[in-house]
Amino acid sequence: MNPDIQSQTSPMKQNRTIPVYVGHTIIGGGRPVIMAGPCAVESKEQMLRIGRAVADAGADVLRGGAYKPRTSISSFQGLGLEGLEYLRDTGGILGLPVITEVISPVDVELVGRFTDILQIGSRNMHNYPLLLEVGRTTKPVLLKRGYAATVEEWLAAADYIAAGGNNQIILCERGIRTFTSQTRNTFDISAICLAKMQSTFPVIADPSHAAGIPELVPHLARAAIAAGADGLLIEVHDRPEEALCDGQQALSPQVFRELVRTVRKMTEV
């Protein structure tokens, strides 16, 4: 962030962020990148249906979890390898790069064969063996902030990835745990700014996990873009009541389409 006055009030101006390239998609290059899709890959058909919807709406990257870290061992834990295949195939059909989470060092090589971006979830921000392992790959890594981690700890976690030679790191703010209860987490807009000021990594925002309710998501998304975020990670589901994971916070495809339109309008020259 340049010290001159204009940069302080012009979020869209280029700062010293070093972009991350994913195929033709540039993250941190000025145009906000929108990653979207369901929380979890549930079936081939579901992935294709929602994938098409978010692609049509203008998403740049397709998301979908195959390995889900869940509080309860009784909750749906993801389709695993099968899910990876559905995600990759859907991305191929739609011509979109894909992102999915990896939760164990032993899975990194496998997951890396199916995805364009490796995602480290909030609960694994301090999982140093996992960070070191993704740092040894050549894949871009999206590193979510731990739900109670400081910005300093978040950047220090990125160092574990970079230590393996992999500097293609995208940071993602997703809300922190506070005393409030009306939202799932407290979206920490300042952390986006601080992370950008204190690193050269692109920083995107996940308003879905922060809000926990769809009504807030477009508001938080706009706020993130206005504050200077390099993109968004949005959960979208067309049948939220049937979703196997976090359906209650997903946007409908229609609301998502409106959001993309608004974001594009906010950042056009």
Interface ranges with its own copies (CB under 8 A)? 1, 5-6, 8-11, 69-73, 103-106, 123-124, 126-129, 147-148, 150-153, 156, 159-160, 163, 176-183, 186-191, 193-194, 197, 210-211, 215-216, 218-220, 222-228, 254-255, 258-259, 261-262, 266
Q: Residue 141's CB: how many other CB atoms inside 10 A?
A: 26
CB of 146 to its own copies, least distance (A): 8
C-alpha of 208 from chain center: 10
Q: What does the block give as tokens for 28?
A: 């941190």
CB of 245 to its own copies, least distance (A): 14
* 164 neighbors 173 (Cβ within 8 angstroms): no
Give CA–CA dist 52/90, Å, rounded.
8
Collapsing DSSP states into helix, strand and coil, what is residue 133? helix
Taking the least distance from each CB to its own copies, the nearer of 22 and 263 is 263
CB of 37 to its own copies, least distance (A): 19
CB of 122 to its own copies, least distance (A): 8
CB of 31 to its own copies, least distance (A): 17
Give CA–CA dist 175/147, Å, rounded.
6
Taking the least distance from each CB to its own copies, the nearer of 78 and 91 is 78
Taking the least distance from each CB to its own copies, the nearer of 63 and 145 is 145
Taking the least distance from each CB to its own copies, the nearer of 67 and 114 is 67
Classify strands 20-22 and 25-27 as parallel, antiparallel or unpaired: antiparallel
Smallest CA-to-CA distance from 201 within 159, 168, 164, 161 is with 168
* 78 neighbors 68 (Cβ within 8 angstroms): yes
Answer positive or negative: Cα dihedral of 112, 90, 52, 213. Answer: negative
CA of 151: how far to CAs of 190, 192, 221, 242, in Å?
10, 9, 20, 35
Taking the least distance from each CB to its own copies, the nearer of 142 and 211 is 211
Outline where DSSP puts E strands in 28-140: 33-37, 61-63, 98-101, 117-120
CB of 88 to its own copies, least distance (A): 22
CB of 178 to its own copies, least distance (A): 5
Taking the least distance from each CB to its own copies, the nearer of 8 and 43 is 8
Taking the least distance from each CB to its own copies, the nearer of 115 and 127 is 127
